[in-house]
């Protein structure tokens, strides 16, 4: 993983290298091992390198073709680079490094824009075709690596993080109210908007191109999750066997590294299975777990500390095991630093992820994690129950939309925003943004199978995408590359063919659970152990049965209790201050009501309180220009 940025001037005037350097400066944490630049008249690109494969100078970027006509920068890993390299060498291409990124350059020479369809990996890239005077930007299938851009005022500015784009003197920071409406509905942004007006996120599985002589850019979707009209004709056991085979292959592909490599370990099935496969192939393993101080926790929160389960697996596979224990005050200490790095707010609490990434980065440069297993194989059975009695497309969409209003439902939107903001956003439809996700859905929505696959489709394109963006930021804040074996192309392609009933067994159609309350989710699991059935069967061949059968535990701190207890002064000081920045957009009485409801335990509002805190710090740092915080620890 690395970071890059670039700029194209449509008026033909030359780019100064100093400008490109200034775009890279805010993202130097993404690549501490070197930097490189390329200028060709009105086009400039720069790259910060995190050296993982081929640590020599030969792996420096930007990379060039033999004749110098194709120049590119890439952030990510192409896991099938050895096979692609062999195929390209047969066609006469000459390589000068052992780096996976070089196949991007020669792949484009050979296959043009369609080269991205051949890459099994996670990546964001920019390729300049000097002969055609054409720029190509692209992201991987799943959006595991970010790529943002601003297209206005005769410029195309792009980068791995929004901070790089804002470093351009012609790009200013202001709030996108349409995106703000999405964020406080879904705790996510489902369109290509960001909270910054005029700055867009290139969607996953898409490319963006520009040719000299025009001021237009053209977006093309080259891949999407496609569920078959008829699922694969195979037995449950046959499907599990194939999943196991592809999973082992996926893990093996992600063990290629010239830098130290480790594993996030939760004690659960997904991360435990990755470790088990790696233990057969590597002599020395390093694992990392985050636990929580539960002295003030209550109810189901008392099960949130995963250290004991992780230690069992670490002992079984003889890893060098590292742990960190978080307390309520650790959130308060890290918030400014975390939100500066995130810059694009998505999904829920992420400070535990930030701390564990910091821990891992002290020992390794690469960490494997279990992201994607839940979304591909049905790990959220309480969600799928919401549509069991729906009929037709509209019935499904309306029911599922009601469920995914994680923060503030439509009925409370007028109370959430202050008068000026509501006037500006009241015609913005979060429901339209939700339905827009399904523009690529190629099936009816009439049967239970349709509904479950449509649910998987939404989670893969939105919830997982948000998790991946946050995972990228918290890892790269510490110059740490994350790898996700479940997002291997071969494994993903096969998972989409599996009948939904193999993933979700015995679904309790009556269960409906509030996402704010992880305790209720766990109780749902206890009474309805239906999720990830085929994956559980596959993993029985890899890890102990007790790990496979244990109740699902999400990675979450006991924030519900902390927001009523140890952290309440911090929350009140920040959010009950009449001068808080959030009141430029939100209504103080609504925020006060939410805090009161949570403190009295009438309603669990932990997700919304987290988003209030995050938005306050986001405004301070990214809109009002408070200084970049000093790193703690």
Residue 266 neighbours by CB distance under 10 Å: 22
- Indicate whether 180 and 266 sit together in one domain: no
> How far, in Å, CA of 182 to CA of 437, rounded?
13
- Indicate whether 297 and 210 sit together in one domain: no
The domain total for the chain is 2
Torsion of CA 178, 180, 181, 184, to 10 degrees: 160
Domain assignment of residue 177, yes or no:
yes
pLDDT category of residue 448 using cuts at 50, 70 and 90: confident
pLDDT category of residue 510 using cuts at 50, 70 and 90: very low
> How far, in Å, CA of 589 to CA of 592, rounded?
5
pLDDT of residue 305: 76
Domain assignment of residue 464, yes or no:
yes
- Indicate whether 107 and 251 sit together in one domain: no
- Indicate whether 196 and 327 sit together in one domain: no
Domain assignment of residue 56, yes or no:
yes
Average pLDDT rounded to a whole number, residues 361-379 = 97
Predicted confidence (pLDDT) per residue in 192-238, tens digit: 999 999 999 999 999 999 999 999 999 999 999 999 988 999 999 99
pLDDT category of residue 628 using cuts at 50, 70 and 90: confident
Alpha-carbon separation of residue 137 from 6, 74, 330 (angstroms): 10, 10, 38
Alpha-carbon separation of residue 554 from 241, 519, 557, 566 (angstroms): 26, 10, 9, 22
Predicted confidence (pLDDT) per residue in 66-87, tens digit: 999 999 999 999 999 999 999 9
H or E element in which residue 520 lies: helix 518-527
Q: Is the pLDDT of residue 527 over 70?
A: no
Predicted confidence (pLDDT) per residue in 556-576, tens digit: 778 888 899 899 999 999 999
pLDDT category of residue 555 using cuts at 50, 70 and 90: low
> How far, in Å, CA of 346 to CA of 350, rounded?
9
pLDDT of residue 303: 59
Predicted confidence (pLDDT) per residue in 591-612, tens digit: 999 999 999 998 999 999 999 9
Cα 136–Cα 138–Cα 143 angle in degrees, nearest 5: 170
- Indicate whether 207 and 143 sit together in one domain: yes
pLDDT of residue 513: 56
**Whole domain around residue 461: which residue ranges?**
236-378+431-549
Residue 351 sits in a domain of what CATH number? 3.40.50.620
Long-range CB pairs of 385-390, under 8 A, 24+ apart, other chains included: 385/507, 385/508, 385/509, 385/510, 385/511, 385/512, 386/512, 387/451, 387/455, 388/448, 388/451, 388/507, 388/509, 389/509, 390/445, 390/451
pLDDT of residue 506: 72
- Indicate whether 297 and 204 sit together in one domain: no
Domain assignment of residue 418, yes or no:
no
- Indicate whether 283 and 198 sit together in one domain: no
Residue 388 burial (C-beta neighbours within 10 Å; 0-12, 13-18, 19+): middle
Q: Determine the 3-state secondary structure of 33 from DSSP.
A: coil
pLDDT of residue 34: 95
Average pLDDT rounded to a whole number, residues 391-420 = 93
Residue 55 sits in a domain of what CATH number? 3.60.20.10
Q: Is the pLDDT of residue 589 over 80?
A: yes
Higher pLDDT, 273 or 295: 273
Average pLDDT rounded to a whole number, residues 36-59 = 96
pLDDT of residue 521: 47
Residues near 354 by Cβ (< 8 Å), separated by ≥ 6?
A: 334, 337, 338, 341, 474, 477
Q: Is the pLDDT of residue 508 over 80?
A: no
pLDDT of residue 267: 83
- Indicate whether 214 and 316 sit together in one domain: no
The tokens of 204 are what? 């996953």
Average pLDDT rounded to a whole number, residues 104-131 = 98
Q: Is the pLDDT of residue 138 over 60?
A: yes
- Indicate whether 268 and 300 sit together in one domain: yes
Instruction: Out of 163, 193, 221, pick the residue that ends a domain.
Output: 221
How many Cα atoms are found within 13 Å in the side-chain-facing hemisphere of 259? 21
Q: Please state, rounded to an integer, the average pLDDT across all residues of the chain.
A: 92
Nearest to 37 by CA among 52, 26, 21: 21
Q: Determine the 3-state secondary structure of 416 from DSSP.
A: helix
Instruction: Out of 504, 532, 549, pick the residue that ends a domain.
Output: 549
pLDDT of residue 528: 43
- Indicate whether 369 and 289 sit together in one domain: yes
Domain assignment of residue 386, yes or no:
no
- Indicate whether 54 and 151 sit together in one domain: yes
Domain assignment of residue 561, yes or no:
no
Q: Does the predicted TM-score (pTM) go above 0.85?
A: yes
Domain assignment of residue 372, yes or no:
yes
Q: Is the pLDDT of residue 298 over 90?
A: no
Measured in degrees and rounded to the nearest 5, phi and psi for residue 214 equal -135, 160
Nearest to 122 by CA among 270, 271, 23, 250: 250
Instruction: Out of 158, 189, 221, pick the residue that ends a domain.
Output: 221
Domain assignment of residue 593, yes or no:
no
- Indicate whether 324 and 440 sit together in one domain: yes
Contact 93, 54 (CB under 8 A): no
Contact 410, 431 (CB under 8 A): yes
> How far, in Å, CA of 526 to CA of 552, rounded?
9
> How far, in Å, CA of 125 to CA of 208, rounded?
10
Instruction: Quote the DSSP letter at residue 215.
Output: S
């Amino acid at each position: 993983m690395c970071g890059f940025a670039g700029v194209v001037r449509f008026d033909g005037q030359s780019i100064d290298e100093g400008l490109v350097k200034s775009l890279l400066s805010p993202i130097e944490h993404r690549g501490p091992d070197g930097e490189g630049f390329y200028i060709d008249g009105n086009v400039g690109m720069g790259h910060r390198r995190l050296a993982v494969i081929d640590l020599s100078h030969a792996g420096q970027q930007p990379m060039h073709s033999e004749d110098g006509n194709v120049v590119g920068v890439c952030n990510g890993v192409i896991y099938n680079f050895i096979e692609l390299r062999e195929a390209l060498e047969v066609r006469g291409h000459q390589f000068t490094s052992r780096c996976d990124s070089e196949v991007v350059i020669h792949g484009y020479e050979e296959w043009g824009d369609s080269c991205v369809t051949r890459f099994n990996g996670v990546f964001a890239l920019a390729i300049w075709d000097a002969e055609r005077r054409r720029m190509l930007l692209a992201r991987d299938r799943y959006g595991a690596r970010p790529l943002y851009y601003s297209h206005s005022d005769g410029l195309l500015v792009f980068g791995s993080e929004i901070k790089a784009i804002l470093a351009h003197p012609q790009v200013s920071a202001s709030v996108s109210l349409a995106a703000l409406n999405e964020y406080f509905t879904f705790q996510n942004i489902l369109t290509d908007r960001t909270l910054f007006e005029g700055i867009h996120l290139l969607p996953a599985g898409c490319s963006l191109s520009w040719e000299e002589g025009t001021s237009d850019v053209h977006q093309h979707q080259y891949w999407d999750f496609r569920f078959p009209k008829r699922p694969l004709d195979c037995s449950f056991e046959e499907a599990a066997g194939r999943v196991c085979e592809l999973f082992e292959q996926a893990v093996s592909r992600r063990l290629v590294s010239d830098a130290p490599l480790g594993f996030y370990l939760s004690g659960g099935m997904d991360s435990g299975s990755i470790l088990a496969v790696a233990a057969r192939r590597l002599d020395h393993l390093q694992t990392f777990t985050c636990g929580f101080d539960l002295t003030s926790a209550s109810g189901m929160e008392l099960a949130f500390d995963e250290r004991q389960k992780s230690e069992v697996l670490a002992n079984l596979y003889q890893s060098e095991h590292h742990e960190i224990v978080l307390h309520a005050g650790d959130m308060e200490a890290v918030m400014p630093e975390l939100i500066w790095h995130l810059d694009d707010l998505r999904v829920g609490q992420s400070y535990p992820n930030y701390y564990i990434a910091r821990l891992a980065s002290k020992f390794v440069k690469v960490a494997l994690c279990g992201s994607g297993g839940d979304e591909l194989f049905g790990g959220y059975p309480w969600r799928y129950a919401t549509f069991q009695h729906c009929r037709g497309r509209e019935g499904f969409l309306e029911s599922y939309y009601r469920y995914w209003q994680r923060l503030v439902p439509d009925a409370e939107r007028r109370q959430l925003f202050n008068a000026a903001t509501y006037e500006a956003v009241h015609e913005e439809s979060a429901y339209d943004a939700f339905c827009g996700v399904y523009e690529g859905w190629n099936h009816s929505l009439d049967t239970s199978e349709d509904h479950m696959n449509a649910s998987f489709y939404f989670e893969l394109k939105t919830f997982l995408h948000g998790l991946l963006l946050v995972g990228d930021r918290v890892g790269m804040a510490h110059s740490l590359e994350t790898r996700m074996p479940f997002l291997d192309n071969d494994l993903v392609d096969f998972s989409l063919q599996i009948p939904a009933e193999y993933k979700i067994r015995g679904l309790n159609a009556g269960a409906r659970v509030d996402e704010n309350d992880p305790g209720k989710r766990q109780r749902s699991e206890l009474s309805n152990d239906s999720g990830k059935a085929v994956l559980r069967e596959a993993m029985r061949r890899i890890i102990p049965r007790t790990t496979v059968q244990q109740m699902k535990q999400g990675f979450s701190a006991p924030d519900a209790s902390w927001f009523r207890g140890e952290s309440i002064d911090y929350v009140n000081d920040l959010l009950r201050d009449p001068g808080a920045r959030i009141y430029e957009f939100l209504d103080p009485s609504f925020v006060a009501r939410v805090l009161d409801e949570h403190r009295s335990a009438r309603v669990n509002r932990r997700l919304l309180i987290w988003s209030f805190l995050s938005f306050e710090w986001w405004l301070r740092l990214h809109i009002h220009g408070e200084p970049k915080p000093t790193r703690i620890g």
